[in-house]
Amino acid sequence: MSRWKTSWVVMANVGLMIAILAFVALYSIYEGKDNYRTQVEHFVNTTVAMERVTES
């Protein structure tokens, strides 16, 4: 292989790795926010349920 082809392959691999890392980081942030919303919703539902139990 020529030096030009080798450097092109290396650059393509580095670009692909950067794209994958960016995707994983963005997905992780999205899932973290979704998990937080789910926990807050669960807390609110539990609080409302306990409030109804104590009223009875």
Q: Give me the residue label for tokens 């937080």.
A: 36
pLDDT > 80? residue 46: yes
Angle 37-38-42 from CA coordinates, rounded to 5°: 120
User: What pLDDT is attached to residue 31?
Assistant: 96
Q: Give me the residue label for tokens 């926010």.
A: 33
Residue 29: band (very low, low, confident or very high) from pLDDT cuts 50, 70, 90: very high
User: What pLDDT is attached to residue 30?
Assistant: 96
User: What pLDDT is attached to residue 1?
Assistant: 62
Where helices occur in the chain by DSSP H, the ranges are: 3-55
